[in-house]
Structure 1
């Protein structure tokens, strides 16, 4: 059986595809992954021996502003994504494909879905967070430049508006491409690409799907893969040299004032009598002095690292939150946008850490949050929740794909 997985996302959105691809291959399937052409994604998939088809523009360059603004703005980039994923997924499926799985941004997903329609291949859409799926139990994530009207409190009204927003932003690009390949136009691109039976790749305790809801959501569990890579020798030496440090990093989020953020975080961690591990990430965080109680790290095995820290200070992306929860590490979530406020709320509600109020951390605000995260009670609760974490999500998803 042949499967093509696709995603246009940051590392937290590509890593689950790695886990699913490995499980599919273990069950005898042939797998290809269409993902952004960033070097770190290609390297990660090469490490597990899965073929990657570079697709679209670099996510890192786009997020960090290294890609020049497109003259056509969002609609132009949407059109480019639709075409890129349609062309590359078509090529990846050319030798015969039984199922297409898509995640990530709507235009990229629409390109994959169009391949499925055109070639008559089974298609599945998956999300890494429940709040991106229409539900009466939560509002939609605000789209860039389209804030939710504060006077509207009816979630269904907000979701109807979200469908209109998606149509206005992406509809022309998607329908122009569909017309070029002989497919009919869509009047609701969001619901068409999501389908009425989307999959939800989240742990049911950390991020549950609430019923009743109109969508027939299939919650598989998070797609995680045990990471056996050793930590860098210098990092291991730092960890061994003292008490567990506090990790701080914001993954693929570029921070507005990275120097101020690093200073506030390190000083707040030191005020709690702790050492610090600072992850550079796409924000390019750095140390603020040459004291030996701090260590800066680049790419590293977060599964192994988070099991050795006192707490994890992060942005609340689905990938980092999932890994920290699985590791049993207390968390301080400083949400920057998107699905991150949701995960910050879940961490606080579960009692496994603190949700920072707003996206701008200060010494005072981080100190207060760390006091909560570093209590024995929070550590005990984080350990208890980690014991419930389902590690079979990728296997469940792989079997569902192959059995169908």
Structure 2
């Protein structure tokens, strides 16, 4: 049985798609192994998927004095902050990845799987990159919205791709010092010198899969020729495999009109500012029922927001809750975005960091969402935007196109074909 290692790093939103692909690979008779931070061992185990730990995990971060909230604030404060979190552990990551991929027939990695990519190249094993978000292509033809440069699409329309490429080149200089441990390792291993392993490395894989449908974002005109559109992953964790919601939440839903659902996903929820307090005020201002998904760690501290029309929950499976929502207010993470699109739910997006600003803008262009960044999220602005979002039927029209193709199945079928040659 051929062994396929799936290496990823990040939050649950970065792990769930890889578990989804692993399950499809297993269905096709292959032997998947998830390589991720130690805290995700149980998620793999609950599905019967083999697991290999890759540093850094949450314990390694906490040993450096970095908890979840600090990590989120680091990335919010600097677009390159994610690299500052993971690169101090780079040698450990490389050692772990080298062990994990030993004997593998193929490796699948995320854009941030830098150590796995280099270990795989050194071992001569085929590598496939999963591009979970459109921003990962770093396209000059279809430049993303990023927090620090929200003008890039306008600049492209006005002056063409030249200025975009120049800005990207200048941006690479910001990463020069951060790249040093990566470049040093490549030299020690005798690998060819590359211009930018951190940003362009994912594009050099044998195959790239855009794990989102063309209806959300078509491949950009300057995408590598070996890139292929697949579709969203809708895996939402084994805890969501049941067809039943938490009984307490189910009763709340059954007892009244569809509520507004407010969520910040699995990462930004650790640094929410006053998002949930403001959201409760928005619901009251609009005279709407609401469900606040605040994270298990915050339920006790936010229980005071609850009344007969507002329910505070730690977590609820999006695939079960969103179809029963009047609208979904979220951070713009790609997994939450996919679930809201599939449910046909009107959306208000409050992006916080990273790809969320670009995902939010793409939703706005599609006519399925309004956008109020978290830094500007007030009861007045959010209520006004949400009222507008609730008046649109566009998202219900687009919902079928967003879930027509099973992205993980497309990836698994290609891998199986590649390994049968």
Fold-level similarity (TM above 0.5)? yes
* Inter-partner Cα distance in structure 1 for 2:361 and 2:130: 22
* Inter-partner Cα distance in structure 2 for 1:141 and 1:125: 22
Matched, 1:365 2:381: yes
Provide the residue aligned with 1:157 in structure 2: 166
Q: Secondary structure at the match of 2:381?
A: helix
| Cα displacement string for residues 262-285 of structure 1 (whole angstroms, at most 9, x for unaligned residues) | 221111112222111111138947
Which deviates further from its counterpart, 339-348 or 187-196?
187-196
Provide the residue aligned with 1:333 in structure 2: 349
Provide the residue aligned with 1:249 in structure 2: 263
Q: Secondary structure at the match of 1:359?
A: helix
Compare the two structures and name the one with the higher helix fraction. 2
* Inter-partner Cα distance in structure 1 for 2:331 and 2:287: 23
* Inter-partner Cα distance in structure 2 for 1:90 and 1:74: 22
| Cα displacement string for residues 132-177 of structure 1 (whole angstroms, at most 9, x for unaligned residues) | 213222336659xxx45979942121222333333x1432110223
- For 1:341-380, what aligned pairs fall within 5 Å after superposition? 341-357=357-373, 359-375=375-391, 378=392, 380=393
Go from structure 1 to structure 2 and tell me whether the alpha carbon gap of 1:127 and 1:169 turns closer, same or farther (over 3 Å shift).
Answer: farther
Given the alignment, which residue of 385, 391, 394 partners 2:398? 385
* Inter-partner Cα distance in structure 1 for 2:406 and 2:178: 35
Matched, 1:210 2:211: no
Provide the residue aligned with 2:127 in structure 1: 123
* Inter-partner Cα distance in structure 2 for 1:280 and 1:316: 16
- For 1:9-158, what aligned pairs fall within 5 Å after superposition? 9-38=10-39, 41-58=40-57, 62-65=67-70, 77-94=85-102, 96-105=103-112, 109-139=113-143, 147-148=148-149, 153=155, 154-158=163-167
Matched, 1:174 2:187: no
* Inter-partner Cα distance in structure 2 for 1:14 and 1:369: 31
Which deviates further from its counterpart, 326-335 or 248-257?
248-257
Structure 1 residue 304: Cα displacement: 0.6
Contact 2:306/2:312 (CA < 8 Å) preserved in 1? Answer: no
* Inter-partner Cα distance in structure 1 for 2:258 and 2:83: 47
Number of aligned residue pairs: give it.
387
* Inter-partner Cα distance in structure 2 for 1:187 and 1:257: 37
Go from structure 1 to structure 2 and tell me whether the alpha carbon gap of 1:75 and 1:353 turns closer, same or farther (over 3 Å shift).
Answer: closer
Provide the residue aligned with 2:77 in structure 1: none
* Inter-partner Cα distance in structure 2 for 1:114 and 1:35: 16
* Inter-partner Cα distance in structure 2 for 1:282 and 1:51: 27
Go from structure 1 to structure 2 and tell me whether the alpha carbon gap of 1:139 and 1:290 turns closer, same or farther (over 3 Å shift).
Answer: closer
* Inter-partner Cα distance in structure 2 for 1:74 and 1:240: 41
Structure 1 residue 32: Cα displacement: 0.7
Q: Which runs of 5+ in 1 are unaligned?
A: none
Contact 2:37/2:54 (CA < 8 Å) preserved in 1? Answer: yes
Matched, 1:289 2:305: yes
| Cα displacement string for residues 173-213 of structure 1 (whole angstroms, at most 9, x for unaligned residues) | 10223344444543322323431753211122122223254
Q: Secondary structure at the match of 1:135?
A: coil
RMSD between aligned residues: 2.9
Structure 1 length as normaliser, TM-score?
A: 0.86
* Inter-partner Cα distance in structure 1 for 2:150 and 2:309: 46
Structure 2 length as normaliser, TM-score?
A: 0.83
Provide the residue aligned with 1:191 in structure 2: 200
Contact 2:233/2:335 (CA < 8 Å) preserved in 1? Answer: no
Matched, 1:315 2:331: yes
Matched, 1:394 2:408: yes
Which deviates further from its counterpart, 24-33 or 114-123?
114-123
